[in-house]
Amino acid sequence: MRPTWPLLALTLLQGLSAGMLCLAAVALLAPAMDIPRTTLFVWQGAAWVAGALGGMASFFHMHRLAAARYVLRRLGSSWLSREALSTAVYMIVASFVLLVHLFWPRDLGAWDAVSGLAAVLGLAAVYITAMLYATIPAMRSWHSPVTVLVFVCAGLLSGGAADYALVAGRSSDLALRAAVMGLAAVFGILFSFQARLFRQAAGGVLSATGTGLSGRPYRLQDSGTSRRPYRTQTQIWPELPARLRRWLYALVFGLAVAIPWAAAIWLPGWAGGILLLASVGLGVSLSRWLFFGDATHSSRVWFADQPKTPSPVRREGKRTYKMQ
Protein backbone atom coordinates (compact mmCIF):
# COMPACT_ATOMS: atom_id res chain seq x y z
CA MET A 1 0.00 0.00 0.00
CA ARG A 2 1.22 3.50 -0.73
CA PRO A 3 2.44 5.04 2.57
CA THR A 4 0.84 8.43 3.19
CA TRP A 5 2.03 10.84 5.85
CA PRO A 6 -1.42 11.44 7.45
CA LEU A 7 -1.84 7.73 8.17
CA LEU A 8 1.72 7.46 9.44
CA ALA A 9 1.28 10.49 11.69
CA LEU A 10 -2.11 9.40 13.00
CA THR A 11 -1.12 5.84 13.92
CA LEU A 12 2.29 6.77 15.33
CA LEU A 13 1.17 9.76 17.39
CA GLN A 14 -1.93 8.00 18.65
CA GLY A 15 0.19 5.09 19.89
CA LEU A 16 2.77 7.45 21.42
CA SER A 17 0.06 9.37 23.26
CA ALA A 18 -1.65 6.26 24.60
CA GLY A 19 1.68 4.70 25.61
CA MET A 20 2.75 7.76 27.60
CA LEU A 21 -0.58 7.94 29.43
CA CYS A 22 -0.55 4.22 30.19
CA LEU A 23 2.86 4.37 31.83
CA ALA A 24 1.82 7.52 33.70
CA ALA A 25 -1.22 5.67 35.06
CA VAL A 26 0.98 2.74 36.11
CA ALA A 27 3.31 5.15 37.91
CA LEU A 28 0.34 6.67 39.75
CA LEU A 29 -0.80 3.23 40.88
CA ALA A 30 2.73 2.14 41.84
CA PRO A 31 4.17 4.67 44.31
CA ALA A 32 7.29 2.50 44.55
CA MET A 33 8.40 3.93 41.20
CA ASP A 34 8.92 7.24 43.07
CA ILE A 35 8.17 9.51 40.12
CA PRO A 36 7.12 13.07 41.11
CA ARG A 37 3.61 14.07 40.20
CA THR A 38 4.98 17.12 38.41
CA THR A 39 6.83 14.78 36.06
CA LEU A 40 3.68 12.71 35.56
CA PHE A 41 1.80 15.88 34.64
CA VAL A 42 4.49 16.67 32.04
CA TRP A 43 4.07 13.15 30.62
CA GLN A 44 0.32 13.65 30.37
CA GLY A 45 0.70 17.06 28.76
CA ALA A 46 3.09 15.68 26.14
CA ALA A 47 0.69 12.79 25.54
CA TRP A 48 -2.18 15.22 24.95
CA VAL A 49 -0.11 17.22 22.44
CA ALA A 50 0.85 14.04 20.57
CA GLY A 51 -2.77 12.86 20.44
CA ALA A 52 -3.99 16.25 19.24
CA LEU A 53 -1.42 16.36 16.45
CA GLY A 54 -2.37 12.84 15.39
CA GLY A 55 -6.05 13.77 15.29
CA MET A 56 -5.30 16.84 13.19
CA ALA A 57 -3.26 14.74 10.76
CA SER A 58 -6.25 12.48 10.13
CA PHE A 59 -8.14 15.35 8.48
CA PHE A 60 -5.50 15.57 5.76
CA HIS A 61 -6.27 11.97 4.82
CA MET A 62 -9.83 12.83 3.83
CA HIS A 63 -10.44 13.51 0.17
CA ARG A 64 -13.65 15.37 0.94
CA LEU A 65 -13.78 17.17 4.28
CA ALA A 66 -17.49 17.82 3.81
CA ALA A 67 -18.11 14.09 4.17
CA ALA A 68 -16.58 14.03 7.66
CA ARG A 69 -20.00 14.59 9.22
CA TYR A 70 -21.04 11.10 8.07
CA VAL A 71 -18.12 9.31 9.70
CA LEU A 72 -20.12 8.21 12.77
CA ARG A 73 -23.08 6.79 10.87
CA ARG A 74 -21.77 3.21 10.72
CA LEU A 75 -20.76 2.49 14.30
CA GLY A 76 -22.40 -0.91 14.19
CA SER A 77 -20.41 -2.20 11.22
CA SER A 78 -17.48 0.09 10.47
CA TRP A 79 -14.20 0.10 12.36
CA LEU A 80 -13.45 3.47 10.77
CA SER A 81 -16.48 4.99 12.50
CA ARG A 82 -15.46 3.37 15.78
CA GLU A 83 -11.94 4.70 15.37
CA ALA A 84 -13.20 8.26 14.96
CA LEU A 85 -15.45 7.96 18.02
CA SER A 86 -12.90 6.25 20.26
CA THR A 87 -10.15 8.74 19.37
CA ALA A 88 -12.46 11.68 20.07
CA VAL A 89 -13.60 10.26 23.43
CA TYR A 90 -10.00 9.49 24.38
CA MET A 91 -8.89 13.06 23.67
CA ILE A 92 -11.82 14.49 25.64
CA VAL A 93 -10.93 12.41 28.72
CA ALA A 94 -7.22 13.22 28.27
CA SER A 95 -8.17 16.89 28.34
CA PHE A 96 -10.03 16.33 31.61
CA VAL A 97 -6.86 14.80 33.06
CA LEU A 98 -5.02 18.07 32.54
CA LEU A 99 -7.94 20.20 33.72
CA VAL A 100 -8.36 18.25 36.96
CA HIS A 101 -4.67 18.67 37.77
CA LEU A 102 -4.72 22.40 36.95
CA PHE A 103 -7.92 23.43 38.71
CA TRP A 104 -8.20 20.79 41.47
CA PRO A 105 -4.56 20.00 42.28
CA ARG A 106 -5.37 18.73 45.78
CA ASP A 107 -7.96 16.22 44.65
CA LEU A 108 -5.47 13.44 43.98
CA GLY A 109 -8.14 10.73 43.94
CA ALA A 110 -10.02 12.34 41.07
CA TRP A 111 -6.78 12.85 39.14
CA ASP A 112 -5.80 9.20 39.60
CA ALA A 113 -9.23 7.99 38.49
CA VAL A 114 -9.38 10.16 35.37
CA SER A 115 -5.77 9.25 34.49
CA GLY A 116 -6.59 5.55 34.68
CA LEU A 117 -9.71 6.01 32.56
CA ALA A 118 -7.72 7.94 29.93
CA ALA A 119 -5.11 5.18 29.81
CA VAL A 120 -7.78 2.52 29.23
CA LEU A 121 -9.47 4.60 26.54
CA GLY A 122 -6.10 5.23 24.87
CA LEU A 123 -5.41 1.50 24.64
CA ALA A 124 -8.94 0.98 23.33
CA ALA A 125 -8.38 3.62 20.63
CA VAL A 126 -5.13 1.96 19.52
CA TYR A 127 -6.86 -1.44 19.47
CA ILE A 128 -9.73 -0.12 17.33
CA THR A 129 -7.31 1.56 14.93
CA ALA A 130 -5.40 -1.70 14.57
CA MET A 131 -8.63 -3.63 13.98
CA LEU A 132 -9.43 -1.25 11.14
CA TYR A 133 -6.47 -2.83 9.30
CA ALA A 134 -6.56 -6.35 10.73
CA THR A 135 -10.15 -6.99 9.60
CA ILE A 136 -9.55 -6.36 5.88
CA PRO A 137 -9.48 -9.82 4.26
CA ALA A 138 -8.22 -8.44 0.94
CA MET A 139 -5.13 -7.00 2.64
CA ARG A 140 -3.42 -10.31 3.13
CA SER A 141 -0.44 -8.86 5.01
CA TRP A 142 -2.62 -7.28 7.70
CA HIS A 143 -5.37 -9.85 8.16
CA SER A 144 -3.95 -11.32 11.38
CA PRO A 145 -4.09 -10.75 15.17
CA VAL A 146 -0.37 -9.95 14.96
CA THR A 147 -1.33 -6.55 13.53
CA VAL A 148 -3.18 -5.62 16.71
CA LEU A 149 -0.37 -6.83 18.95
CA VAL A 150 2.26 -4.90 16.99
CA PHE A 151 0.23 -1.68 17.12
CA VAL A 152 -0.30 -1.92 20.88
CA CYS A 153 3.31 -2.87 21.62
CA ALA A 154 4.69 -0.14 19.34
CA GLY A 155 2.58 2.45 21.15
CA LEU A 156 3.70 1.29 24.58
CA LEU A 157 7.33 1.14 23.46
CA SER A 158 7.38 4.63 21.95
CA GLY A 159 5.47 6.06 24.92
CA GLY A 160 7.81 4.36 27.37
CA ALA A 161 10.86 5.70 25.53
CA ALA A 162 9.45 9.24 25.65
CA ASP A 163 8.67 8.94 29.36
CA TYR A 164 12.10 7.49 30.11
CA ALA A 165 13.84 10.35 28.30
CA LEU A 166 12.17 12.81 30.70
CA VAL A 167 13.37 11.05 33.87
CA ALA A 168 16.67 9.53 32.68
CA GLY A 169 19.50 10.00 35.12
CA ARG A 170 17.31 10.00 38.22
CA SER A 171 17.31 7.30 40.83
CA SER A 172 13.71 6.45 39.92
CA ASP A 173 14.38 5.52 36.29
CA LEU A 174 15.46 1.91 36.93
CA ALA A 175 11.96 0.38 36.74
CA LEU A 176 11.06 2.42 33.68
CA ARG A 177 14.31 1.44 31.98
CA ALA A 178 13.57 -2.23 32.58
CA ALA A 179 10.04 -1.76 31.22
CA VAL A 180 11.35 -0.16 28.02
CA MET A 181 13.87 -2.97 27.53
CA GLY A 182 11.14 -5.57 27.96
CA LEU A 183 8.82 -3.78 25.52
CA ALA A 184 11.65 -3.51 22.98
CA ALA A 185 12.25 -7.25 23.18
CA VAL A 186 8.55 -8.06 22.78
CA PHE A 187 8.28 -5.64 19.87
CA GLY A 188 11.20 -7.35 18.13
CA ILE A 189 9.54 -10.75 18.47
CA LEU A 190 6.18 -9.50 17.21
CA PHE A 191 7.77 -7.61 14.34
CA SER A 192 9.57 -10.78 13.22
CA PHE A 193 6.21 -12.58 13.07
CA GLN A 194 4.76 -9.70 11.09
CA ALA A 195 7.65 -9.78 8.62
CA ARG A 196 7.02 -13.48 8.04
CA LEU A 197 3.32 -12.87 7.42
CA PHE A 198 4.18 -10.16 4.89
CA ARG A 199 6.41 -12.56 2.93
CA GLN A 200 3.72 -15.25 2.99
CA ALA A 201 1.17 -12.76 1.67
CA ALA A 202 3.47 -11.58 -1.09
CA GLY A 203 4.07 -15.18 -2.18
CA GLY A 204 0.40 -16.14 -2.01
CA VAL A 205 -1.06 -13.34 -4.12
CA LEU A 206 0.10 -13.99 -7.66
CA SER A 207 -1.54 -14.62 -10.98
CA ALA A 208 -0.50 -18.25 -10.68
CA THR A 209 -1.88 -18.76 -7.16
CA GLY A 210 -4.88 -16.41 -7.02
CA THR A 211 -5.97 -13.64 -4.69
CA GLY A 212 -5.63 -15.56 -1.44
CA LEU A 213 -9.32 -14.96 -0.72
CA SER A 214 -12.10 -17.52 -0.49
CA GLY A 215 -13.79 -18.59 -3.69
CA ARG A 216 -16.79 -16.32 -3.38
CA PRO A 217 -18.36 -14.50 -6.32
CA TYR A 218 -16.61 -11.22 -7.05
CA ARG A 219 -18.27 -8.00 -8.03
CA LEU A 220 -16.95 -5.17 -10.14
CA GLN A 221 -15.82 -2.20 -8.04
CA ASP A 222 -14.32 0.01 -10.74
CA SER A 223 -16.17 0.17 -14.04
CA GLY A 224 -13.46 2.25 -15.72
CA THR A 225 -13.49 6.03 -16.00
CA SER A 226 -11.15 8.78 -17.07
CA ARG A 227 -9.51 8.60 -13.64
CA ARG A 228 -7.00 6.02 -12.58
CA PRO A 229 -8.56 3.14 -10.61
CA TYR A 230 -8.62 3.74 -6.87
CA ARG A 231 -6.76 0.53 -6.20
CA THR A 232 -3.80 1.62 -8.29
CA GLN A 233 -3.60 4.90 -6.36
CA THR A 234 -3.42 3.48 -2.83
CA GLN A 235 -3.48 -0.29 -2.62
CA ILE A 236 -0.89 -0.98 -5.29
CA TRP A 237 2.65 0.06 -4.51
CA PRO A 238 5.82 -1.04 -6.33
CA GLU A 239 7.29 -4.06 -4.63
CA LEU A 240 10.42 -3.34 -2.64
CA PRO A 241 13.62 -4.93 -3.97
CA ALA A 242 14.56 -7.97 -1.91
CA ARG A 243 17.93 -6.58 -0.85
CA LEU A 244 16.48 -3.21 0.18
CA ARG A 245 13.71 -4.97 2.12
CA ARG A 246 16.23 -7.03 4.10
CA TRP A 247 18.23 -3.94 4.98
CA LEU A 248 15.12 -2.04 6.08
CA TYR A 249 13.88 -4.85 8.31
CA ALA A 250 17.35 -5.25 9.83
CA LEU A 251 17.46 -1.51 10.44
CA VAL A 252 14.17 -1.69 12.33
CA PHE A 253 15.56 -4.37 14.64
CA GLY A 254 18.72 -2.36 15.20
CA LEU A 255 16.91 0.90 15.95
CA ALA A 256 13.97 -0.46 17.97
CA VAL A 257 15.66 -3.33 19.84
CA ALA A 258 19.48 -3.41 19.79
CA ILE A 259 20.32 0.27 20.29
CA PRO A 260 17.69 0.83 23.05
CA TRP A 261 19.07 -2.14 24.96
CA ALA A 262 22.62 -0.86 24.59
CA ALA A 263 21.62 2.66 25.64
CA ALA A 264 19.67 1.44 28.66
CA ILE A 265 22.52 -0.81 29.87
CA TRP A 266 25.72 1.04 29.04
CA LEU A 267 24.66 4.68 28.70
CA PRO A 268 22.56 5.75 31.69
CA GLY A 269 21.60 9.35 32.24
CA TRP A 270 20.09 11.99 30.00
CA ALA A 271 22.38 11.16 27.06
CA GLY A 272 21.19 7.56 27.09
CA GLY A 273 17.58 8.69 27.41
CA ILE A 274 17.82 10.95 24.37
CA LEU A 275 19.58 8.26 22.34
CA LEU A 276 16.99 5.68 23.35
CA LEU A 277 14.09 7.97 22.45
CA ALA A 278 15.58 8.91 19.06
CA SER A 279 16.39 5.30 18.22
CA VAL A 280 12.99 3.95 19.22
CA GLY A 281 11.22 6.78 17.41
CA LEU A 282 13.08 6.11 14.17
CA GLY A 283 12.68 2.34 14.48
CA VAL A 284 8.95 2.41 15.18
CA SER A 285 8.41 4.99 12.41
CA LEU A 286 10.29 2.85 9.89
CA SER A 287 8.34 -0.23 10.96
CA ARG A 288 5.08 1.65 10.41
CA TRP A 289 6.28 2.79 6.97
CA LEU A 290 7.01 -0.85 6.11
CA PHE A 291 3.58 -1.80 7.45
CA PHE A 292 2.08 0.20 4.57
CA GLY A 293 4.86 0.12 1.98
CA ASP A 294 5.52 -3.63 2.10
CA ALA A 295 1.90 -4.78 2.38
CA THR A 296 0.27 -6.92 -0.31
CA HIS A 297 -3.32 -6.37 -1.46
CA SER A 298 -5.24 -9.08 -3.28
CA SER A 299 -6.00 -6.75 -6.18
CA ARG A 300 -2.32 -6.94 -7.05
CA VAL A 301 -3.30 -9.96 -9.16
CA TRP A 302 -5.04 -7.67 -11.67
CA PHE A 303 -3.30 -4.33 -11.36
CA ALA A 304 0.35 -5.10 -10.58
CA ASP A 305 3.01 -6.43 -12.91
CA GLN A 306 3.60 -10.10 -12.26
CA PRO A 307 7.04 -11.67 -12.58
CA LYS A 308 7.62 -13.04 -16.03
CA THR A 309 7.76 -16.83 -15.95
CA PRO A 310 8.30 -19.15 -18.89
CA SER A 311 5.40 -21.14 -20.20
CA PRO A 312 5.05 -24.63 -18.73
CA VAL A 313 4.43 -25.99 -22.23
CA ARG A 314 7.68 -27.10 -23.83
CA ARG A 315 8.35 -25.48 -27.14
CA GLU A 316 9.25 -27.82 -29.93
CA GLY A 317 11.36 -26.90 -32.87
CA LYS A 318 9.92 -24.33 -35.22
CA ARG A 319 8.06 -25.73 -38.16
CA THR A 320 7.79 -24.07 -41.47
CA TYR A 321 4.90 -24.62 -43.78
CA LYS A 322 4.98 -24.09 -47.48
CA MET A 323 2.09 -23.43 -49.68
CA GLN A 324 1.36 -26.43 -51.83
Residue 221 falls inside a structural domain: no
Radius of gyration (Cα) for the chain, nearest Å? 24
CATH number at residue 270: 1.20.1630.10
Residue 53 falls inside a structural domain: yes
Burial class of residue 106 (count of CB atoms within 10 Å of its CB; 0-12, 13-18, 19+)? exposed
Per-residue pLDDT of the chain (324 residues; tens, 9 = 90+): 778 888 999 999 999 999 999 999 988 887 767 778 888 889 999 999 999 999 888 877 766 666 667 777 888 888 988 998 999 999 999 999 999 888 887 777 788 889 999 999 999 999 999 999 999 888 889 999 999 999 999 999 999 999 998 887 665 567 888 899 999 999 999 999 999 999 988 887 766 666 667 655 555 555 555 555 555 556 667 788 889 999 999 999 999 999 999 998 888 788 888 999 999 999 999 999 999 989 887 777 766 555 555 555 555 554 444 444
Residue 151 falls inside a structural domain: yes
Residue 308 falls inside a structural domain: no
Question: What range does the domain containing 176 cover?
Answer: 5-62+70-205+237-303
pLDDT at position 295 is: 87
Residue 87 falls inside a structural domain: yes
Residue 314 falls inside a structural domain: no
- Alpha-carbon distance 115 to 112, whole Å? 5
pLDDT at position 109 is: 79
Residue 312 falls inside a structural domain: no
Angle of helix 5-29 versus helix 145-167 axis, rounded to 10? 60
Give Cα 73 distance to the centre of its chain. 25
Contacts for 67 with CB less than 8 Å, ≥ 6 apart: none
pLDDT at position 20 is: 94
What's the structural domain count of the chain? 1
- Alpha-carbon distance 239 to 115, whole Å? 43
pLDDT at position 223 is: 54
Buried b (16+ CB within 10 A) or exposed e, 210-241: ebbeeeeeeeeeeeeeeeebebbeebbbeebe
- Alpha-carbon distance 297 to 294, whole Å? 10
Residue 321 falls inside a structural domain: no
